[in-house]
Amino acid sequence: MSITQETFLTGQNIDFIEAMYQRWLDDPGSVDGSWAELFAANGGTGRPLIIDGLKLKAPTNGNGARISATAAPAATAESIDLQSKVDQTVFSFRLRGHLLSQLDPLGAQRNPLEHFSDVGMVSAAHFSEAELRSVVASQEAFDEPHVTVRQVMERMRRTYSTHIGVEYINMLDSDRRRWLMRRMEHSENRTDFTLEEQRRILLKLTRAETFETTIHTKFQAAKRFSAEGGESMLPMLEAMLEVGGALGVREVVIGMPHRGRLNVLANICNKPADDFPAQWDPKLGIHVT
């Protein structure tokens, strides 16, 4: 039986590899020796097609002109190793961080991650206290070009491994992938709602829940296509329609599944609630077309 040797040179790692390659092209001494040897074997031919959040921005002077790599102080071996360590951990969060997210409302534990590439996500001892205080490239997770390792790790964890799981790194469109990455990481997948917005969301959720409870109580045999457990869809749809209207959207076609369709008709499309009972109970003497 032939044994296929595993390799990290795969399509899933393309952003990470090409970012490292670009870094090596800018300054061969800025990457780990193993990477430098790999890239040198290629003869330095070709240029990266995709540069994701791992590429260090080239330093510029006060006039915006790029400063050559020789003008910058040489990186130490320790700092190169640490940056590579951070790079790999950041990429792991972007690729597999959703596997750590806590999605079960009852707090059920998920299967542990035991792959060697996940150690930076799951092990608190992966970075020493001194390394956590060290300053590294921010990987575009911050507006600042350089932040501490602790800031990077905390942002990655809050973005990808709390109560929202995001799996997007396999998207083929690199522009969309980078747009999502920046929006999610800079906001840590959170929105600061105003008090008025919070009240509107609560009102929409309350109406959705009341609609389901009323139908279940009064018309137990009716096919109501319940939205129970998915009521958050209602304020989400409302927000999408409002933002879309502000952006110039003139028509929206909603391809609804069975689940939640009546709730959407009542609370999004504003179909009168009095119309629904007549469709379930003809004895009411109300005819709706």
**pLDDT value at position 65?**
54
In terms of residues, how long is the chain?
289
Q: Which domain holds residue 214?
A: 195-284
Exposed / middle / buried, residue 283 (Cβ in 10 Å: 0-12, 13-18, 19+): exposed
Dihedral (Cα; 237, 243, 244, 246), 10-degree rounding: 150
Confidence of residue 5 (pLDDT cuts 50, 70, 90): very low
Residue 222 lies in a domain: yes
Q: Which amino acid is at 194?
A: T
Q: What is the pTM of this model?
A: 0.61
Q: Please answer whether residues 154 and 142 qualify as being in contact, where contact means their C-beta atoms are separated by less than 8 angstroms.
A: no
**277 & 178 share domain:** no
**173 & 207 share domain:** no
Residue 287 has pLDDT above 50, yes or no: no
Confidence of residue 188 (pLDDT cuts 50, 70, 90): very high
Residue 48 has pLDDT above 90, yes or no: no
**226 & 171 share domain:** no
Structure token digits, residue 5: 């040797």
Compute and round to an integer the Cα radius of gyration of the chain: 26
- The more confident residue out of 172 and 148 is 148
**pLDDT value at position 288?**
43
Helices (H) and strands (E) in the chain, counts: 11, 2
**88 & 108 share domain:** yes
Phi then psi dihedrals of residue 136, to 5 deg: -135, 175
Q: Please answer whether residues 153 and 89 qualify as being in contact, where contact means their C-beta atoms are separated by less than 8 angstroms.
A: yes
**43 & 172 share domain:** yes
**267 & 170 share domain:** no
Can you tell me the distance from the alpha carbon of 151 to that of 144, in angstroms, rounded to the nearest whole number?
A: 11
**124 & 241 share domain:** no
How would you classify residue 139: left for phi > 0, otherwise alpha for psi between -120 and 50, otherwise beta?
left
SS3 assignment, position 130: helix
**51 & 180 share domain:** yes
Residue 5 lies in a domain: no
**pLDDT value at position 2?**
41
Mean pLDDT of 125-143: 90
Domain ends where: 167, 187, 207? 187
Mean pLDDT of 172-192: 90
Instruction: Flag the least confident range among 14-23, 30-39, 131-140.
Output: 14-23
Q: Please answer whether residues 238 and 204 qualify as being in contact, where contact means their C-beta atoms are separated by less than 8 angstroms.
A: yes
Residue 175 lies in a domain: yes
Q: Could you report the per-residue pLDDT of 66-75, keeping only the tens digit for each?
A: 544 333 345 6
Structure token digits, residue 158: 């809050």
Distance (Å) of CA 234 to CA 3, 196, 199: 52, 17, 14
Confidence of residue 15 (pLDDT cuts 50, 70, 90): low
**69 & 130 share domain:** yes
**pLDDT value at position 289?**
44
Mean pLDDT of 252-256: 87
Instruction: Flag the least confident range among 24-28, 160-164, 201-205.
Output: 24-28
**169 & 241 share domain:** no
Kindly state the DSSP code that residue 75 receives in the 8-state scheme. Answer: P
**pLDDT value at position 72?**
37
**pLDDT value at position 45?**
60
Q: Please answer whether residues 92 and 120 qualify as being in contact, where contact means their C-beta atoms are separated by less than 8 angstroms.
A: yes
Range with the largest mean pLDDT of 27-41, 86-100, 217-231, 254-268? 86-100
Domain ends where: 158, 187, 216? 187
